[in-house]
């Protein structure tokens, strides 16, 4: 197989930048400077390289894994600690007191300064924490206008024991997001496989169109030769003018076949150009010249193909990840059915003094200690919201499992059909080759009878049509074989391996 001998194609940014230049170099040919290129020479391999490097749909799909990874980071942000800082001053003042109806010229000020800093957050176990440090300074009539500074270091914890407890619940979003990264990577592989298969199809169709033009031109030349022979026979009096008219009408009819074959080439050239460049307008007037496509060997192995598909086929791997996400969601929703039972606790150490530094140092001396310990119980009745969500999640899991089983069955059919198409196409090649040989023998015999005067122009024209139809069927069988091999690699998910494509 080609995949074992072809160097791997690394779909990295450096590779894309390098391969972007390949079609331009091929277009330039021997021309340099600003002269407009007129010919694009491609092989099946170079067409594949260019398609992988310049295809817009692949470039669009390459953003999805990066977006998915950013979403993982966003979900993990739930566990980022939060730092809070607060500084506040409250002040009230009074100009004086009334005594015996006279306002005394006394000004009294009450001031409260608050400073606090804290770090809070949650852990994957569900534990919520709040670590705080702050100072409070009361200055006023109650402290006889002397600084009274209290510094507090505190820790508050809250640990769920039922609902919201444990990593299964708290990491559900993270696990789903990480699975979605793999889903997006498999989607990228599927897009690349589709482009590989599409390029192979279009390349073979273009080659078939070129061969079809050759057959159509040969058919026209056969009719023209018969017309010339009939005209010569009419001149010597051994054939009627009706045979000439019949041959001339067939020449005109076969001219249409040549015109349609030329149009088929142009249409398929545009399809190939669309795949191998992102500047199609520049290539509209460029003629495409391709080498004959290779016909890879194939040995039918349906069980091996099914095993490969269950390992490498992107849609199957995505379905497995989707089912895993449903199971993660089910575990989360089942946890939400539980009542809430949280343990809470807090500890605060206080230090007192007349200045901030001394007050902070006295926290360790525990001038005052305060602590709390408790439990919070919350039981929704009848909890229909959580129960319905859990039941829906169970049904989603069951549906996903059935869908996965259906896909497995479809893979068996797809691989068997794809393998069968290859075998059938190979048999058709042998059959149509023999048909071409026999049709040529029949035509030669008919022409000999016409020369001897025992045959007719109508019979010879019909024999020519049968030969041309046999040649067209032979060409179609060869193209169908190559396309069937490409389709088999798509259905088994082995296209990347066969072409040595490595995604990075």
| Average pLDDT for runs of 10 along the chain of length 504 | 46 43 43 58 90 87 94 94 91 63 59 88 94 83 61 93 93 96 95 94 95 93 89 84 89 92 93 82 81 88 94 95 96 94 93 82 84 93 91 96 96 95 94 94 91 86 92 94 94 92 81
Tokens of 363: 């926290």
| d(C-alpha 122, C-alpha 78), whole Å | 8
**Full domain range(s) for residue 206:** 2-73+174-326+393-497
Per-residue model confidence (pLDDT) at position 4: 40
Tokens of 333: 């929703």
Asked if 156 and 471 count as a contact pair (C-beta separation under 8 A), the reply is no
Q: Is residue 485 part of a domain?
A: yes
Name residues whose C-beta falls within 8 Å of residue 468's C-beta, 6 or more positions apart in sequence.
Answer: 215, 216, 218, 219, 222
What's 415-459 look like in SS3?
A: HHHHHHHHHHHHHHHHHHHHHHHHHHHHHHHHHHHHHHCCCCHHH
Q: Is residue 304 part of a domain?
A: yes
Per-residue model confidence (pLDDT) at position 418: 95
Per-residue model confidence (pLDDT) at position 2: 40
Tokens of 414: 């797809």
What's the domain count of the chain? 2
Tokens of 9: 């194609």
Stretch (H or E) spanning 319: helix 314-336
Residues 153 and 178 in one domain: no
Residues 185 and 254 in one domain: yes
Per-residue model confidence (pLDDT) at position 13: 43
| Eight-state DSSP code of residue 139 | E
Residues 451 and 485 in one domain: yes
pLDDT in tens, 337-362: 999 999 999 999 998 887 878 888 88
Stretch (H or E) spanning 372: strand 368-378
Tokens of 313: 């086929």
| d(C-alpha 216, C-alpha 261), whole Å | 7
Share of the chain above pLDDT 90, in %: 60
| d(C-alpha 430, C-alpha 187), whole Å | 39
Q: Is residue 386 part of a domain?
A: no
Residues 101 and 231 in one domain: no
| d(C-alpha 458, C-alpha 444), whole Å | 14
Q: Is residue 32 part of a domain?
A: yes
If you count DSSP H runs as helices and E runs as strands, how many of each does the chain have, helices first? Answer: 14, 12
Per-residue model confidence (pLDDT) at position 286: 83
Chain Cα centroid distance, residue 98: 82
Q: Is residue 383 part of a domain?
A: no
| d(C-alpha 328, C-alpha 338), whole Å | 16
| d(C-alpha 289, C-alpha 291), whole Å | 7
Q: Is residue 300 part of a domain?
A: yes
Per-residue model confidence (pLDDT) at position 504: 72
Strand boundaries in 185-319, DSSP class E:
287-290
Q: In angstroms, what is the C-alpha Rg of the chain?
A: 41
Integer angstrom CA distances of residue 186 from 240, 308, 463:
70, 15, 53
Pick the closest to residue 305 from 44, 146, 485 (CA basis).
Answer: 485
Residues 270 and 347 in one domain: no
Report the predicted TM-score, pTM, of the whole model to 2 decimal places: 0.81
CATH code of 44's domain: 1.20.1600.10
Residues 266 and 213 in one domain: yes
Tokens of 376: 């919070």
Q: Is residue 58 part of a domain?
A: yes
Asked if 410 and 455 count as a contact pair (C-beta separation under 8 A), the reply is no
Per-residue model confidence (pLDDT) at position 389: 93
């Amino acid at each position: 197989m080609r995949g074992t001998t072809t160097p791997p194609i690394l779909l990295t940014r450096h590779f894309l930048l390098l391969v972007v230049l390949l079609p331009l170099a091929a277009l330039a040919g021997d021309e340099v400077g600003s002269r407009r290129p007129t010919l694009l020479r491609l092989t099946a391999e170079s067409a594949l390289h260019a398609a992988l490097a310049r295809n817009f749909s692949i470039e669009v799909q390459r953003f999805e894994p990066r977006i998915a990874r950013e979403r993982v980071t966003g979900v993990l942000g739930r566990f980022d600690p939060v730092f809070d800082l607060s500084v506040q001053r409250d002040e009230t003042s009074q100009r004086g007191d009334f005594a015996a109806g006279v306002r005394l010229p006394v000004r009294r000020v009450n001031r409260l300064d608050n400073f606090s800093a804290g770090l809070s957050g949650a852990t994957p176990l569900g534990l919520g924490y709040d670590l705080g440090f702050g100072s409070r300074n009361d200055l006023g009539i109650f402290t006889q206008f002397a600084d009274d500074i209290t510094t507090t270091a505190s820790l508050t914890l809250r640990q769920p024991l039922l609902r919201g407890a444990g990593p299964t619940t708290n990491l559900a979003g993270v696990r789903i997001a990480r699975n979605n990264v793999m889903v997006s990577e498999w989607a990228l592989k599927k897009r690349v496989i589709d482009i590989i298969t599409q390029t192979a199809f279009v390349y073979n169709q273009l080659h078939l169109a070129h061969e079809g033009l050759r057959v159509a031109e040969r058919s026209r030349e056969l009719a023209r030769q018969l017309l010339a022979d009939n005209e010569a026979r009419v001149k010597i009096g051994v054939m009627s003018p009706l045979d000439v008219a019949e041959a001339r009408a067939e020449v005109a009819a076969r001219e249409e076949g040549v015109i349609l074959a030329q149009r088929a080439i142009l249409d398929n050239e545009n399809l190939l150009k669309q795949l191998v460049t992102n500047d199609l307008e520049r290539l509209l007037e460029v003629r495409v010249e391709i080498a004959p496509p290779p016909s890879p060997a194939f040995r039918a192995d349906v069980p091996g193909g099914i095993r490969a598909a269950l390992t490498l086929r992107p849609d199957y791997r995505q379905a497995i990840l989707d089912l895993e996400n449903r199971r993660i969601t089910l575990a989360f929703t089942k946890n939400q059915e539980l009542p809430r039972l949280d343990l809470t606790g807090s500890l605060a150490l206080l230090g007192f003094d007349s200045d901030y530094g001394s007050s902070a140092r006295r926290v360790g001396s525990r001038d005052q200690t305060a602590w709390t310990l408790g439990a919070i119980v919350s039981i929704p009745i009848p909890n229909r919201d959580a129960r319905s969500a859990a039941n829906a999640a169970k049904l989603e899991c069951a549906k996903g499992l059935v869908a996965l089983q259906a896909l497995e069955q479809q893979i068996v059919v797809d691989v068997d059909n794809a393998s069968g198409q290859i075998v059938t196409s190979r048999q058709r090649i042998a059959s149509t080759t023999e048909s071409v040989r026999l049709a040529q023998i029949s035509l030669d015999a008919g022409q000999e009878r016409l020369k001897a005067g025992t045959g007719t122009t109508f019979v010879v024209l019909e024999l020519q049509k049968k030969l041309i139809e046999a040649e067209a069927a032979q060409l179609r069988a060869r193209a169908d074989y190559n396309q069937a091999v490409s389709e088999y690699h798509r259905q088994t998910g082995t296209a990347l391996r066969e072409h040595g494509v490595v995604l990075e």
